[in-house]
Amino acid sequence: MKNIDSYTHVRGESVYLDDIPLVNGTLFASVYDSPVAHGKIKSLHLDEAMKMPGVVRIFTATDIPGENQIGGIIADEELLASTHVHFCGMPVALVIATSDEAAKAAVKKIKMEIEPLPIITDPREAKEKNELIIPPRTFQLGDTTTAWSKCDHIFEGQTETNGQEHLYIETQGAYAVPQENSAIRIYSSTQGPTQVQRSTARVLNMPMNYIEVDTTRLGGGFGGKEDQATTWGVLCALAAYHLKKPVKYSLHRMEDMRMTGKRHPYSSDFKIGLDKEYNILAYEAIFYQNAGAAADLSPAVLERTLFHCTNSYFIPNVKATAYSCRTNLPPNTAFRGFGGPQGMFVIEAAIAKAAEKLNISPIVIQQQNLLRTGDEFPYGQIAQSEANECWEKAVELYDLNKLQQEVTDYNSKNKLSKRGLALMPICFGISFTKTLMNQARALVHVYTDGSVGISTAGVEMGQGLNTKILQVAAAIFSINPERIKVNTTNTYRVANTSPTAASASSDLNGKATEIACLAILQRLKEVAAEEWKTEVGSVKIKEDWVFVNDKQTDWIWNKLVQTAFVKRVSLSEHAHYAPPGIWFDATKEKGHPFTYHVYGTAITTVTIDCLRGIYEVDSVKIVHDFGKSMNPIIDIGQCEGALVQGIGWMTMEEILYDKEGKLKSNALSTYKVPDIYSVPKEISIHFLETEKDNLAIFRSKAVGEPPLMYGIGAYFALHNAVKAFNPSAIISFDAPMTPEKVLMSLYQQ
């Protein structure tokens, strides 16, 4: 089944925040944000701005009726700076005017005097100064201290991974419209409608039931709107609350890039020990996460780095410690993979370093140590592994030997152009690592004409969630999908939602939908059973028709629904789903946090131009563990998109802050994302067939984030291509591997 949004997408008819028709009298907002990364506010001059044409009012922290607080995990983030600023881009004042242009023009007239304070941008420096968001955390398995003595080879090193700008096509934004009795409706481009609702209630000192958040869809979120859509929703609501007028704010691209957080940069240390057969006996890692100026989701992201620090390998002795370091950058936040990719890069670098020193292919070490079913993860969960299956299938299906031979041949024939190849196995845990977040609800109505309306906790952001929800209902009822409509995500219809994140939303919301549909179906079958004086078990609905004892009756779905209504049977259901069996004890750092894991292997080949340092990704050949995909078209799209996003992070997307904490790569002229020319020339995706049971909806495993980590393969393929040209190059593990870095390492002495 194709994505149900494709029709309106290609016609330009899909509704995003900026497409919502405006209510008469709507005002426009724009933020004045701090030009300085750290300091004490001495004075704020708003007079000039107030005199600008069209300006209605300017709000500051003193206008907040409730708490000036938007911190989620930790209450450490002000909505509007009161006495201090902690990062360049921190909102200080909110200008409201009769047009977007007027608001932006007025922002330029605001002046602020600041007493500067020391600026930290480097996480290791923050750690030295004890600027930590939370106490460090350590995951441990076995005993590394005794294991080192058993190792024949020990290697140490340092790695860096940079941040990543989300660059959702639709920038952040919100539109708040006052309702009667002081209630407020907020249209928000958010992955977390409840987050926006909860923060608005807190800031306005209002009960949550007066705040309605409604989301039709996002033009991409990628994690950037899990927590950080809140600011704009709350700011619009604050102005609407005071002015009793609708207020809209749709951020300019450069405002968005400057004010919002990104993927967390990490600096890390590793130590890896192997025996003679290249079994990894011990692994230690220390992660320094650059959290930015406030906690945001950093503690949860940090946790996932630890969960994925051994990727898809079994290592009997592990000790991994992670520090969440407070710096004067915009608070960094969720980004597809959520800390997992950062952890996985380090183990891959450790393996690459060991292989280089041992003068063997990293592939030997990778394969030797793949996780098997029954192996224990450092956090105590026992693996149900597909790592070997994916790896072996990839090697066989894509003929690894031949691919390697082609690279060798190419390199021996070409002087100024070199190829590199790398394998990248992945393993990603599905579930929010915070157990309580793993719950969702669905509200299903069957109308008297037989049409079906569904609302869930999940937000459509291009990942195809609504299509999958619709498929669930169509399959359970066994009716034509055209009878079904998935509605906007709305906190009045479905309450207390977790954000649409962690790749888990089709599982969570799909299963809630399944439960609701099954309950309605049961009641409908009872109506039919009564009519035909038979058992409920003898009644079936098949493709819109009622069957009794496997014989088709003259009742079509509509007739069944109408009869049920006449008999005063409920045609609506609200259902709740919480996956069973997951738990985690943070005092011991052990548990069973994930409902299941997703596995896969990618083979990546690249070609570099050894005169210019530029490169192309020739092919990425993947075997991916989809379980049993319920929508292969959507799932392939997710794989391709995530892969390219991962390659972008690893190769070309370079975030640059200067020492003063100012973002230099603040526009699309200075920040390069993959375009049509930089995607791999060939992407092959093979579905690993498994009949094993899992907790995914219809056994169709979550797919949103895991394939991003295949992109790490591009980094190591480039690494190998450089080595083919300059075998003596000592390449530091410093991602992204930009053309500049490639060029420098090609000619490194």
Residues involved in catalysis: 705
If the CB atoms of residues 355 and 598 are measured against ligand MTE, the closer one turns out to be: 598
> In 41-158, which residue ranges form alpha helices assigned H by DSSP?
47-50, 100-107, 123-128, 144-147
Contacted by 242, from ligand MTE, ligand MOS, ligand HPA, none: CB < 5 to 8 Å by type: none
If the CB atoms of residues 226 and 375 are measured against ligand MOS, the closer one turns out to be: 226
Helices H, strands E: what count in the chain?
19, 30
Shortest distance, CB of residue 87 to ligand MOS, whole angstroms? 21
- Residue 600: closest CA among 412, 425, 744, 728: 425
Backbone angles phi, psi at 392, to 5 degrees: -65, -40
Q: How many CB atoms lie within 10 A of CB 490?
A: 18
Q: Which of 166, 185, 258, 336 binds ligand MOS (CB under 6 A)?
A: 336
Shortest distance, CB of residue 510 to ligand MTE, whole angstroms? 9
User: What are the residues binding ligand MTE (CB under 6 A)?
Assistant: 220-223, 336, 461-463, 465, 500-506, 638, 641, 702, 704-705
Shortest distance, CB of residue 164 to ligand MOS, whole angstroms? 11
* Tokens describing residue 425: 């196995």
Distance (Å, rounded) from C-alpha 120 to C-alpha 745? 29
- Residue 489: closest CA among 466, 506, 512, 508: 466
> Which range touches ligand MOS (CB under 6 A), out of 172-180, 329-337, 468-476, 667-675?
329-337
- Residue 442: closest CA among 629, 701, 697, 175: 697
Q: Does 334 help bind ligand HPA (rule: CB under 6 A)?
A: yes
If the CB atoms of residues 306 and 334 are measured against ligand HPA, the closer one turns out to be: 334
Q: Which strands form 733-735's sheet, in the order they lie side by side?
A: 137-141, 317-326, 280-292, 266-274, 153-161, 733-735
The contact pattern for ligand HPA, residues 226-255, with x = CB under 6 A and - = no contact, is x-----------------------------
Distance (Å, rounded) from C-alpha 176 to C-alpha 204? 13
Contacted by 462, from ligand HPA, ligand MOS, ligand MTE, none: CB < 5 to 8 Å by type: ligand MTE
Residue nearest to ligand HPA (CB): 502
DSSP 699: G
Q: How many CB atoms lie within 10 A of CB 678?
A: 17
Distance (Å, rounded) from C-alpha 605 to C-alpha 253? 34
The contact pattern for ligand MOS, residues 213-232, with x = CB under 6 A and - = no contact, is --------x-x--x------
Q: Does 592 help bind ligand HPA (rule: CB under 6 A)?
A: no
Shortest distance, CB of residue 273 to ligand MTE, whole angstroms? 34
Q: Does 434 help bind ligand HPA (rule: CB under 6 A)?
A: yes
Rounded alpha-carbon distances, angstroms, from residue 233 to 17, 176, 247, 252: 12, 7, 10, 15
Say how far residue 543 (Cα) sits from the centre of its chain.
Answer: 36
Q: Which strands form 545-548's sheet, in the order they lie side by side?
A: 539-542, 545-548, 551-556
If the CB atoms of residues 206 and 300 are measured against ligand HPA, the closer one turns out to be: 300
> Which range touches ligand HPA (CB under 6 A), out of 426-434, 444-452, 521-529, 690-698?
426-434
Distance (Å, rounded) from C-alpha 137 to C-alpha 719? 31
Contacted by 432, from ligand HPA, ligand MOS, ligand MTE, none: CB < 5 to 8 Å by type: ligand HPA
Cβ-Cβ contacts under 8 Å for 646 (sequence gap 6 or more): 337, 341, 707, 708, 709, 710, 711, 712, 714
Tell which positions 497-516 bind ligand HPA, by CB under 6 A.
501-502
Q: Does 502 help bind ligand MOS (rule: CB under 6 A)?
A: yes
Contacted by 300, from ligand HPA, ligand MTE, ligand MOS, none: CB < 5 to 8 Å by type: ligand HPA
The contact pattern for ligand HPA, residues 177-216, with x = CB under 6 A and - = no contact, is ----------------------------------------
Distance (Å, rounded) from C-alpha 333 to C-alpha 690? 34
Q: Which of 262, 304, 353, 719 binds ligand HPA (CB under 6 A)?
A: 304
Q: Does 105 help bind ligand HPA (rule: CB under 6 A)?
A: no
| Footprint of ligand MOS (CB under 6 A) | 191, 221, 223, 226, 334-336, 338, 501-502, 705
